[in-house]
Every structure is written in structure tokens, then in C-alpha cells.
Amino acid sequence: MTRVDKLILLAVLGLALGSFAVAGLRRGAEVSPAQAQVVVEVDGRVVDKFPLADLKPGERRQVRGPLGYSVIIGGDNKVRMESSPCPDKVCVARGWISLPGEAIVCMPNHIVVHIVGPASEKSYDAVTQ
């Protein structure tokens, strides 16, 4: 291993820690979780959108993806993927999300569940299609 190799190792470590810091800051900067909305997307299309507070603890909603039905379940102002027909269950392992900006992504079933704040809706300058 050469000196440049070691520098690269350090740089990657720095990059990783830096991105942790950025992720933490972004989360802290987001707004009032009380008015958060849950957005459910399949293949990039919004199929469901409701206030997080409306999803009572234990309440389930089914989302239909190409592999079948994934089930999300509500908690105390939070939501998680309870079950999914995907092979890897990465989405289930993601656990609870509750803050605007957080997302559960199920790649195999093409489902994204994410949370937006009331303000972040208007924070786009423009949308191109």
C-alpha cells in the first residue's frame, strides 16, 4: 500500500463522515413533524397522500406494486413498512420514519413512501417534465 493509497482511504473516510454530518443537518433543518404528510409513490406516480397524524397506530394501508401488495402500518406519528413481497426486505428493515425528508424505498416493488412537510411542498422553484 502506497502513501497515495492511504490518502485515498482517509479521503473516503472523511467523505463518509461528512455525508453523515450533512444528512444529520438536513434532518435537523426540516420543519414541524406535526403537520407532516405521507406520500406514497409507485413508479414515480403519487398514489396516496395523507396527513401523518391521520394514520392511527396499528392502522394498515396496502400499496400495490408490480410484485404485489406492500403493507404500511402507522405508529405514534410515524410510519413503517410492515411487509412487502420483495425478496430483500430492505424496506421493512428501514424501520420507522416520521420526519419530513425521510423515505422508505422498496426497489423491487417500485414503491417509495416518504414524508413531506407543509412548507416543503412549495419549496420547488420549478418542475420540468
46 binds other proteins (CB under 8 A): no
Q: Which stretch binds other proteins (CB under 8 A): 36-44, 48-56, 75-83, 119-127?
A: 36-44
Q: Does 36 bind other proteins (CB under 8 A)?
A: no
Total interface residues for other proteins by CB under 8 A:
32
- Residue from the set 35, 94, 98, 118 that interacts with other proteins by CB under 8 A: 94
Read off the DSSP letter of residue 98. -
Scanning 14-22, 50-58, 70-78, 119-127 for contacts with other proteins by CB under 8 A, the matching segment is 14-22
User: CB of 104 within 8 A of CB of 94?
Assistant: yes
Among 69, 93, 119, 121, binds other proteins (CB under 8 A): 93
Output 1 or 29, the one with its CB closest to other proteins. 1
Long-range contacts of 90-98 (CB under 8 A, 24+ apart): 98/33, 98/36, 98/52
Distance CA 43, CA 60 (A): 21
Residue 51's contacts (CB-CB under 8 Å, 6 or more residues apart) are 35, 36, 37, 38
